[in-house]
Amino acid sequence: MRRFPVIVALLLASSAAIAAPTNSGIDIAGLDTATRPGDDFEQFANGGWRAKAEIPADRSSTSVGYDVFKVAEARTAALIANAAAENPAPGTAKRRIADYYTAFTDTAGIEARGLAPLAPALAEVAALKNKTELARLLGTSLRADTDVLNATDLATENLFGLFVTQGLTRPDTTMPYLIQGGLGLPDRDYYLSKAPEMAQIRTAYQAYIAKQLGLAGISEPEARAARIMALETRMAQAHASIVDTFDPYKVALWSRADFATKAPGLDWQAFWAAAELPNQAEFHAWQPAAVTGLAALVGREPLQTWQDWLTFHRINTATSVLPKAFDDAAFAFYGTTLNGTPAQRTRDKRGIAAVNAALGDAVGQAYVAQHFPPSSRAQIEVMVKNILAAFDKRVAGLDWMAPATKAEARRKIATMKVGVGYGDSWRDDSKLEIRPDDPIGNQQRVSLHQYRHQLGKIGRPVDRSEWWMTPQTVNAVNLPLQNALNFPAAYLEPPHFDPKADSAANYGAIGAVIGHEISHSFDSLGAEFDADGRLRNWWTDADKARFNAAADALIKQYDGYEALPGLFVNGRQTLGENIADVAGLTAAFEAWQASLGGKPAPIIDGKTGEQRFFLSFAQNWRAKQRDKALRSQVATDGHAPARYRAQTVRNVDGWYDAFGVKPGDKLALPPEKRVKVW
């Protein structure tokens, strides 16, 4: 990552040098010109595309992001193939890449070995004699997650997950955070909701548990499945909601001794020793009530029930490298029942994803060497500087914010670390053993290796330039504790970013994404952290009240969007992302205007620069999604569905002028109702 000063004059001069357009960057054929922009801008921008788009059988949706992902996937496939073709020496990164892929895609070998590679793990569960031994096994299986706000990403065999980063109130101290885990369904609401669709999923999940246990030759699979489902339902009752999980003030700082008194039921001494944290003095409990509730279940529920649960999840986390019957059953439930996806992805493509997950830095280092030229990095860095400058200018001009609050906000902008393409260092996997005939062992060793990498950071100086994504990841992220952003190389591809496209389109697409990630530092969560990543209230009461009023207006706006009949977007659950969309789009628009240096934007493909900017933004969010996947997203995701993110334009004054939007149009808001958080 790099630190960029905010020097407006220099930024504008730099951007002018790259602004000459060669194409509009807009998919004109994708428009639906029969729809008025002011009535449904997303449909106007994307209706023509959506009418012809088909969701691949092995996907729950298709989108611009999927188009970019396919490019990254094809490049990664070539890197893996080249690594294998070179027959690299043992112990090298290329050898590990080739061997991991070979093991994952060797379906004949997987069938021949059957459950034998998993037998030691299952025997370990069956041999448990008491709750102390259970605590040790739970500690041994503790693993680290890379996103504290997405606890459901944890391996479901873990009762808890670990996240390692700087302390909430001690930005110079690297600390462990304990996170709720243990559920096989995506979120607590899948267990607790009274909606008929959720009840059907619960029935299917219990049947799936029984099927996997039966395939493994476990006796009484239906009875065990019923016990597991009952246990996970009690876990879900203990879990914090998504909204509460996004509230950092609910996080507790616990001493080692606190766990025994505040969360009795689990032998914490045995747990922490097995988790390789025998001497750690303090922890953050991200969802403290959940930690208390889950520990109580360990003490209260019969040992046999925990053995059933562990047995199932040992199998469930390994289905991709178990014989076909297990793999097919897992996809039938998680792919088709949960997300409506008809067909499993081919083994080779799943192998690419598996290598990326296991050896992401090794693949990423080769990826950027071939596919991310310095010129692209430099062009994006200029856009970042421009958008930071626009954001700073907006903050400086706020008439409602007290000088002290404003100064802290501007300090946060000035010290933000923005990483473009890739990080400054690569992870060392040289001690990781990967074998071409041991896919389950590879999976287990990688999991432990990554966990120990995270443990190794505890007590060491905080690395504010640390990357949390690999370069070949099609995504971007804001890290509020580090006051940092990551924009991986694979994301910076057309149509997100096209170095040959008109600047209006680039600012509308990748520029709005950059603005979005910058704005996360000032959303409902990010605004709680100062420039050093310390959790503290740096607002006056009046400033906070003004901010909350704008947030409440945005919540109400998104609560009104009906994703499916009777299913509405949760404006509070998606608030942070919605704030970032509004503020980011506004900052990107103003940065683009400033980059013109006072010159008018050309008309290209019959569209003004302002029209191209907003169309590019909306087309960057075009997507087509299966109903089950959409329902799952509304229930569990902090992001609003893409269709409603595109409608963010209704809060930006420039959009009204660009498309002649008038009062009475369905999306039109009077000026005083347009949400302007920043």
Query: pLDDT at residue 84 above 60?
Result: yes
At 215, is the secondary structure helix, strand, or coil? helix
Neighbours of 355 (CB within 10 A): 26
Closest CA relative to residue 530, chosen from 111, 248, 207, 189: 248
Taking the C-alpha atoms of residue 62 and residue 168, their distance in angstroms, rounded to an integer, is 38
For residue 10, the model assigns a pLDDT of 23
Residues with Cβ within 8 Å of residue 635, at least 6 apart in sequence:
186, 187, 189, 190, 193, 198
pTM for this prediction? 0.88
Q: Mean pLDDT across the stretch 130-156?
A: 76
Average pLDDT over residues 384-409: 91
293 within domain boundaries: yes
Smallest CA-to-CA distance from 381 within 425, 422, 352, 343 is with: 422
**What sign results for the dihedral spanned by CA atoms 627, 632, 635, 636?**
negative
**Could you say which DSSP state residue 461 is in?**
P
What are φ and ψ of residue 256, in 5° steps?
A: -60, -40
Question: Is residue 360 domain-resident?
Answer: no
Sign of CA dihedral 325, 330, 333, 336: negative
pLDDT, one tens digit per residue, over 349-368 is 999 999 999 999 999 999 99
Region 443-456: mean pLDDT is 96
- pLDDT attached to residue 524: 82
The CATH number given to whatever domain includes residue 252 is: 1.10.1380.10
22: number of Cβ within 10 Å: 11
The pLDDT confidence band at residue 3, using thresholds 50, 70 and 90, is very low
Report the pLDDT value the prediction gives residue 13, as an integer from 0 to 100.
Answer: 27
Comparing CA positions, the residue from 102, 107, 72 lying closest to residue 88 is 102
Kindly state the tokens that stand for 552: 């409440």
Q: What is the pLDDT, as a whole number, of residue 536?
A: 92
Statement to judge: residues 650 and 550 lie in one domain: yes
Q: Is residue 427 part of a domain?
A: no
In a domain, 458, yes or no: no
For 226-266, the pLDDT digits (tens) are 999 999 999 999 999 988 998 999 999 999 999 999 999 99
SS (H, E, C) 161-210: EEEEEECCCCCCCEEEEEEECCCCCCCCHHHHCCCHHHHHHHHHHHHHHH
pLDDT of residue 481: 86
Residue 546 forms part of a structural domain: yes
Same domain, residue pair 410 and 528: yes
Task: Among 280, 302, 324, give the residue marking a domain's end.
Answer: 302
| pLDDT at residue number 243 | 87
| pLDDT tens digits for range 93-137 | 999 999 999 999 999 999 999 999 999 999 999 999 999 999 999
Query: What's the number of domains the chain is made of?
Result: 2
CA angle 509, 474, 367 (to 5 degrees): 115
Both 520 and 602 in a single domain? yes
Q: Are strands 143-144 and 160-166 parallel, antiparallel or unpaired?
A: parallel
Q: Are residues 547 and 666 in the same domain?
A: yes
User: In the numeric block, which tokens belong to residue 162?
Assistant: 């670990």
Q: What band does 552 get if pLDDT is binned at 50, 70 and 90?
A: very high
Place of tokens 């019969």: 302
pLDDT digits (tens, 9 = 90+) for 397-449: 988 899 999 999 999 999 999 999 999 899 999 999 999 999 999 999 999 99
HSE-up of residue 189 (Cα within 13 Å, Cβ side): 13
> Hey, what are 476's tokens?
């971007």
Q: Is the pLDDT of residue 18 over 60?
A: no
Q: Domain check: are 627 and 509 in the same one?
A: yes
- Return the number of other C-beta atoms located less than 10 Å from residue 634's C-beta: 19
241: helix, strand or coil = coil
Taking alpha carbons only, the member of 616, 620, 598 closest to residue 658 is: 616
Q: Could you tell me if residue 422 is inside a domain? A: no
Summarize pLDDT for 288-299 with one digit per residue, the tens: 999 999 999 999
Give the pLDDT band (50/70/90) at residue 500.
confident
Residue 161 carries which side chain, given as an amino acid letter? G
* DSSP string for 512-556: HHHHHHHHGGGSTTGGGB-TTS-B---S-HHHHHHHHHHHHHHHH
Establish if 445 belongs to a structural domain. no
pLDDT in tens, 28-76: 999 999 999 999 999 999 999 999 999 999 999 999 999 999 999 999 9
Q: What is the pLDDT of residue 157?
A: 64
| Residue bearing tokens 């991986």 | 488
> Closest Cα to residue 128, out of 118, 119, 138?
138
Q: Both 261 and 135 in a single domain?
A: yes
337 within 8 A of 331, measured Cβ to Cβ: no
Write out the two tokens for 531.
Answer: 């420039």
| Residues 397 and 280 both lie in one domain | no
Mean pLDDT of the chain: 92
Q: Give the confidence band of 156 by pLDDT, cuts at 50, 70, 90.
A: low
Which carries the bigger pLDDT value, residue 274 or residue 466? 274
Beta bridge partners of 163: 177
Question: Domain boundary at 283, 302, 321, which?
Answer: 302
The per-residue pLDDT for 146 is: 63
DSSP E strands in 4-84: the ranges are: 61-63
Is 285 in contact with 291 (CB distance < 8 Å)? yes
Q: Cα(156)–Cα(208) distance, rounded to whole angstroms? A: 15
Q: Does the pLDDT of residue 19 top 50, yes or no?
A: no
Q: In this predicted model, what pLDDT tens digit does every residue of 556-592 receive, in sequence order? A: 999 999 999 999 999 999 999 999 999 999 999 999 9
b/e code 448-473 from CB counts within 10 Å (16+ = b): ebbbeebbebbeeebbbebbebbbbb
175 and 45: one domain?
no
Indicate if 147 and 60 belong to the same structural domain. no
Give the three-class secondary structure for 40.
coil
Asked if the model's pLDDT at residue 1 lies above 60, the reply is no
The pLDDT score that the predictor gives to residue 435 is 98
Tell me: do 378 and 247 sit in the same domain: no
User: Which of 78-92, 148-162, 340-354, 663-677 is the least confident region?
Assistant: 148-162
3-state secondary structure of 218: coil
> Which band of pLDDT confidence, cut at 50, 70 and 90, is reported for residue 347?
very high
Q: Is residue 167 part of a domain?
A: yes
- Number of Cβ within 10 Å of residue 69's Cβ equals 19
- Supply the CATH number for residue 15's domain: 3.40.390.10
592 and 514, same domain (yes or no): yes
- My answer on whether 263 and 408 are in the same domain is no
Type and span of the H or E element at 30: none
The pLDDT score that the predictor gives to residue 462 is 87
Domain that holds residue 147: 127-302
Indicate the residue among 257, 280, 302 that finishes a domain: 302
Q: Which of 240, 251, 246, 248 is nearest to 575 (CA)?
A: 246
Percentage above 90 pLDDT, the chain? 84
Instruction: Count CA atoms closer than 13 A to 626's CA, side-chain side.
Output: 18
Of the candidates 434, 487, 446, 162, the residue with the CA atom closest to the CA atom of residue 318: 446
